[in-house]
Amino acid sequence: MAVSSELVKELRTMTGAGILDCKKALEDSDGNMEKAIEWLKKRNASVAVKKVSRDAKDGKVASYIHGEGRLGVLVEINSETDFVARSDNFNAFAKEICLQIAAMGPLYVVREEVPVELVEKQKEIALAQIGETKKPPEVLTRIVEGKLNKWFGEICLMEQAYIRDDSKTVKDLLTDVIGRCGENIKVRRFTRYNLGEGL
């Protein structure tokens, strides 16, 4: 099906995807905007899976200062090439990550970085919250896992709900930008400074 340039432009504005990708998505979705957006999400996820094993050694350090210098964020985001690190999609993503860290105060990038002893302590807390119960061990295990996943969703950047759209996580946002840029992109590390914190 042929699609109008206005429809392609509208989809591009909504998603930030390339013109040819938007055109293909609309053609394959018979001009249905919702189906085209879903098509782009699936395409981006597929691209991300292929790219994730590639080295990302270039990139940039992005920064954000808020509240007249009361809160600051530094984040290192890696890409495969400096070409992508200079692109609008990459820089918009870096800005969003800085805002996410400033607003939500994660402690780690991914759950694999969380120290084992901290995870064990959280398991103990979850079990204490459940208290005495006659539920089977497998049910207790699922309850503890659910509580741990909720906790990881609070402290791990990639698992947090995205501040602008809580129907997606920061990892979903990363997957979208990998699909749009066509390269592996990785949030390597960050630091969040809050004036007077810890004094």
* Close Cβ partners of 156 (under 8 Å, ≥ 6 residues apart): 106, 107, 108, 109, 110, 111, 113, 114
- Looking at per-residue confidence, does 67 or 155 come out higher? 155
For residue 26 the two structure tokens come to: 């609309």
Which stretches within 52-169 are classed as H helix?
82-85, 88-104, 116-130, 137-155
Asked if 56 contacts 80 with a C-beta cutoff of 8 angstroms, the reply is: yes
Task: Please state which CATH number belongs to domain 58-105+168-194.
Answer: 3.30.479.20
Confidence of residue 133 (pLDDT cuts 50, 70, 90): confident
State the residue for tokens 């957006």: 37
The pLDDT assigned to 53 comes to 60
Chain segment 154-168, per-residue pLDDT in tens: 999 999 999 999 999
Using a pLDDT cut of 90, give the percent of the chain over it. 49
Domains 5-51 and 58-105+168-194 share a fold: no
Chain segment 74-118, per-residue pLDDT in tens: 999 999 998 999 999 999 999 999 999 999 999 999 999 999 999
Asked if 41 contacts 21 with a C-beta cutoff of 8 angstroms, the reply is: no
Confidence of residue 71 (pLDDT cuts 50, 70, 90): very high
With 70 as the cut, is the pLDDT of residue 1 above it?
A: no
Task: Give me the mean pLDDT over the 51-78 stretch.
Answer: 87
Confidence of residue 50 (pLDDT cuts 50, 70, 90): low
With 70 as the cut, is the pLDDT of residue 47 above it?
A: no
CATH of 5-51, one of 3.10.50.40, 1.10.10.10, 1.10.8.10, 1.10.260.40: 1.10.8.10
* Close Cβ partners of 40 (under 8 Å, ≥ 6 residues apart): 11, 15, 17, 21, 22, 25, 179
User: Could you state, in order of their start, the residue ranges of all structural domains in the chain?
Assistant: 5-51, 58-105+168-194, 115-154
The pLDDT assigned to 54 comes to 65
Q: Please, how many CA atoms are within 13 Å of residue 126, restricted to the half-sphere of its CB?
A: 19
CA–CA separation, 78 and 81 (whole Å): 9
pTM: 0.74
With 70 as the cut, is the pLDDT of residue 146 above it?
A: yes
**Considering Cα of 83, then 15, then 7, then 20, what sign does the dihedral take?**
positive
The pLDDT assigned to 46 comes to 66
